[in-house]
Amino acid sequence: MRYLSAIIAFTLLHCKTNRERTDPPPNQPAADTVRVISPPQDISYENLYGLYLHESNGPGFHSTIEIKPMGNDLHFILTVQQPGCEWELQGTMAMMYNQENEYAGFYDSETCRLVFTFFLKTSQLRVETAGLCVALPGRCSVGGVYRLAGTNP
């Protein structure tokens, strides 16, 4: 009787294990319906190149950002001329994301971090400091909205 119980238990266990191996997992698509889509690797930033003028440019205040190509990233030259402040920063902006009408990049150094957000429909660029930019002299300000030169407000 002990042998019979052991044989029945072994048979039930063996049948259950085989059934688990052969039954397909629930909610799993068939192998021929799975498609892997790779993100595009040929993103062009050409529409971002150019000279951007700060929205508050006028007598006593002038700030510009020039954007140039640099591989998969962008090179920028940020120039500020304000009362008590003349400053220039050059660097490489690493592009973080791009959507249909908005791109964003980030400049990161030990002394300054900047976030650049491009709005394609309005040809604008918003610059924000991410934390404290100790490289920027106390009387200088770089944040705000810049418009691509030659475009209408």
Q: What is the CATH number of the domain that holds 92?
A: 2.40.128.120
The residue ranges of the chain whose pLDDT is under 70 are: 1-42, 153
Confidence (pLDDT) at 84: 86
Is 18 inside a domain boundary? no
Does the CA dihedral 143-148-149-153 come out positive or negative?
negative
In a domain, 128, yes or no: yes
Q: How far apart are alpha carbons 140 and 82 in whole angstroms?
A: 7
pTM, rounded to two decimals? 0.70
CB atoms within 10 A of CB 87: 17
Domain count, the chain: 1
pLDDT confidence of residue 3: 45
Q: Is residue 107 part of a domain?
A: yes
The whole-angstrom distance between residue 86's C-alpha and the CA centroid of its chain comes to 30
Residues 107, 129 contacting (CB under 8 angstroms): no
47-81 pLDDT, tens digit each: 999 999 999 999 989 999 999 999 888 999 999 99
With tokens 């020039």, the residue in question is 66
